[in-house]
Structure 1
Amino acid sequence: MVTGGELDRLLLATGGRPSPLDDLIGRLTGPAVAEIESCAAGPLAPLLCAALTEQLRERGDASDDVVTAVLHGLTGQQSALALLDATDELLSSDVFVASYGVRLHKAFLAGVRTPRPVVAAAFAEGALRLALAGFGDVARTVVMLTPDDPHGLDPDYVARLPRLLGAALDRWGLGQSVGGSLRDTLAELQLIPAAAAAAAFESGLHQIRSAADPGTDDPVALLVAARKNFAHAEAGEESGSDAALYGSGIDAVMAFRRGDELALRQARQSLHRRLGDRADGLRGGHLPAWRRPRAEAGFAWNRLVMILTRALDAATRPAWLDAWSMIDAVVDAYVLDRAVVPLAGPADADSFGRVLRPVITSSLHGRETLLMQLRVAATDDADRVGRLREVVAHLDAPAAVTYDDDNSRLLSLAPSMVAELGLPDAARLAHQVDDDTLRLVEGMAYNAIVRRGSLRDPVIADLLERLTTDLRPCADYTGFVRQYFDALIAETVAFLATRHDLQRSAAVDYLFPARPPPREVRLQDDFADWLRRGLLAGHIDVEVPNVATGRADIKVGFGATRFFVEVKRELRTSARAELERSYLTQAADYSGTSATLGMLLVLDLTSHRAGVPHLSECAWVTRRRPPGSGVDRYLVVGRVVGNRPTPSTYSQPANHPATSDPATGS
């Protein structure tokens, strides 16, 4: 416990306007170094740092012993708020940063090892800010931000890590080595509930930034992936409003590509509403200067959407009452100002032009009057000639409006459909419809992606995404069959998540230790009852006879399309390979006469004295081909973890003082 000393009293006497630190030190009666270190570790550290920077501002230098004492004292700081305020004081001084920034960076890296997770995050933030400014070791900073096992860190530390990773990606994300490490850590954090929403948000920002890189082959696919992440992130308290704002911006871009005027106007209305909500939320609040560019991003989105709205109106209006106004709208959409890029960090606004130009070009071809006006204007108007010549060059290039094959047409007009169905199935569909119908289907697929992401917890959303992705190779996983099976998967994952949380399933006795152990019929009845209470009510039967060579535990039927769920219990081993070896053959046999899709649900009653697996490890897709058959059967395997003691039973009394492992809180 740090107690106030003589220097603390002198700082308080200044009334928040400290004199140069040398003047205060000169009035001390005891050892100055001890007083400085004690003060720097206490609640008045911000005032001490302000006195130090005032010393540098007025007199140009400070004693090396004094600076060393301040830095050493800061590493013992126990208050995150005091540390953040002290950091702001030091980093606001160009003289201090230029002279002592590298030493301060080393002190912050040492401070990250504190056992207090929130304070450790504040040290990490300070170290990152210095490294971003060019003071400090970038490699060591990245190592600090990319721990080997994020799952073992304290939740309070992990919750603050995505924001720091996002800021690092702003600066170093395009580098192959550093950027890869940062992205991998963000991906891991999306599996940890405390950080999932914030990590999804930062991943979405990086995907927009990557779409804005001139070397990106498919910027539209990155925008679709970013939109999915923002939908996941809307569940987060801190990142939710910003994620919704970015999501509305991408909605507008995608609506423009489809030529969907109604959706574009809805996106614009959503942006206006969310910008108003943001202004209300920020009014009277404090946002650090180093985070401010993202706060301004919403207005860049608003300007971009205004450009797109005018351009879409210009391309579809039957009568050209004001040719120059319409030409300007088209030109604005072709040549987007760098200020439009709606995020911090290095980016090239031209990528948005690459996303939008094919649509504008397709809309303008055949409008001979406008094309003639554009060509004349490109030679006659000196003020607009450079921008207009670029537009005309794109319009006159045949490759801008033709497609080499169905795949290029598909990727241009329906990227969301490709993400939903996979390229082979999407290509088969695209081959059968015209461009207008393809854009309509694209809108439906895009809305499905957003809706599926926004309605669920980010960890559950990521699990659903993985399962549906792994099912794509199944030939039956298309059309209505896919819709039905997706509904079953969604209900199953929700069931697994609820039963994984003992607080939400306290009345479910088969989850707790019991002698004799519960039979699988308890899980079968519970799961069937769950399905009957949801969207699949009326489609559920249990103990269905005459299926394959036996009796199926649960049938989910939609007319001629039927899915069967085999329910088992396991007492010895819960290893994935062993569960599949023991039960997969029987579960797969039930799908021999209908869609080649099924489900295996296992009640895991093995010992869990050392803890239980993460929810993301409790469901996966596997396949089996019976001997002599040429058809794979695809099964979703779900594991319900029973025989679970309460979490408090995992704790043991400590026999020695806690060590200072970084950010573990233990």
Structure 2
Amino acid sequence: MPQLADRLTELAADGQAITFAAIGLTPDTVANQAGDVAAGPFAPYLAEAVADAYNRSDAQWQPAASAFPQGLAAQPSVLHLTASMDALLHSHAAAKSLGKSLTTALLDDLLGHIERAPLLAAARLEGAVRLAVADAVTPFKVWQALEDVPSDGPEDFLERLPRLLGLTLDRWADEDTIADTVRALLQQLVHDEAADVDAMFELGCDLLRRALSSQDMGSITTHLVQARKQFETAAQAEEARDDARTYAAVCDALLAFGRHDAAAIDGAADQIANALDQREAWLHRTHQPTWLQPRRSAEIAWHRLILQLRAAATALQEDAWLDAWEALDTVLTAYSAARTVCPLANDTSQGLALLVQPAIEDSFLRQQAFLAQLRHATQATGQHVARSFDTATASALLNAVDAAAQRESDPATPSATGDGSDDDDPGGAVIARLQRLAPTLLLLLRDRALSIGRALDDQQLLLLDGLAYDSDVARLKATDPLIVPKLDELMTELSAHPSFTGEVRRTFLALVEQTLLFLKSRSDITRTNLFGTTKKGAPPPFDYRRKPEGEGARKPVEADLQRDFHQWLQAGPLHNVVLVEPVDVGMGRADVMAHFGALRYLTEIKQDGSDNDHTYLESRYLAQAAEYSNTNAPFGQLLVLDLTPKKDTQGNLRPDELAWATTHRPKGATTDRAVVVGIVAGNRETPSAFSRK
């Protein structure tokens, strides 16, 4: 009778996909041999077949799959155990179904394994933590195992422990019982030579995370000072710890805002830049498992922080913490991106990657960063002309924000509609109005939104919610299942260009990130207040993305896209970093030039109603878009307003299908011109138009 191990060997040797169908044995035969195979060198191959069966919901192989965890408990090889977990966790369904039995198998006699086979014990604990982080199981067994872990165990085990403890704090810092236990264990590991530097680094990360969660400047400053001490000590203890040195510089920069110390901010920005330029590897440390390594796009947040710090250093405002809130928000983004993990594999046809970011209570910080952006908007109303954001509206908004802040600091201050008691709004009319007109504002500002809502009319609230929406979607979420993988892809392609280094890499990536987020936000056709508001009884504002209705209706042109993209950059996270200007509108061109100091990147804007095929668009417009980079860095962008009929397309493209990177080299040239191309869908129908009649 053919043996399961033999069939797995044959399939692997032939390079075939390993599935139960390809194995060709009966379910009973596989089930009887699965346990022994899971304990041997062919376990990773069997795990592939198990994952495939769960992905296809093929229930006949359930007995074989159920035998796998018990067999894996006897696996003596670190490599085979790790490879088996990687293969098995290509399936979300397998992780969920087998999670409990796998966790039990991995944690069984963990203390004994720590003494007998410390490397294997570390791999088993990592697998159990991975399942808990992915929410495949409840974390209680993992927490208990961590509470029982000895702080004086074998060196091979202890040196791998700090990162798992740091991940535990990232994931469950708000669970006081386990968080206190983990912090105490890290404090003990600081005195162990095998784990001391990593333990100090993880303690620093914990303190930085607590600073980002704090709600007053005193607590923020205290935690930053303590975090900096841990990072600096780690950097001094080990020469190659550029990660610790970078985080120490981040703390230095944030603390310098309180001293109005522009030189210190600029110096810290240079330290961060040097660390990134000299050793990108600290973001992708090779000794870490793949699922623990940050995505490539995590680098972009650090580059944007550098740009913001340098801008703040050259124009430090009297109210330094106004800039500091935005810097803190960028640090939050960078930290979340660098510490986001992917416990379940993403190259499966069963769904998007599961990305898990640190659990940081960031509502207060996001509020302050958004309010800082609002104050910037009120000081630069010319950047929001398309939304009819005039001086009078800006003044009303600023007064409402200031009044809300005053009421928060002085509870005795009467509210805008009465004496501040609950009887002022017994029916929840203010909340209902905000939910109807400004849901994003309510989500961001919470209670403060109530005070602001009382002071503004409907038109002003709609306008403010449009600003709030743009502010929210312009922040890249580390777990974004569409934009993060697309950024990773574009970064990989752009990195092949020899000129994509240093300041060019830093600045162009910041622009590309905002361009992708712009494409995603404009793909949401349900947003009705992106282009301003109108008074009651007046026609709605012109939305260039929608199909014109009726004879004589205005048709969209590329200048509409230009104004929208121009405004997006001016009002977004790069507003104090980049100089953005429209180009030659009067001469019939509609382009946007972004200046990062001496570096310039032109975004060519086009419209096309013939075809939206990638090859067609490149053949029509790529050479022109690339031409404008001849006198500066060889990088640029092309945005195309797609006006092709949508009635027969049976739907629209997803945001991650709307952008790609390409190159153009003129005849006789020696340097490729790299261009990122994006499509903004116009002439769009409402979703209901695609329903079958």
Length-normalised TM-score, structure 1? 0.49
Structure with bigger RCO (C-alpha 8 Å, 6+ apart): 1
TM-score (norm 2): 0.47
Larger Rg: 1
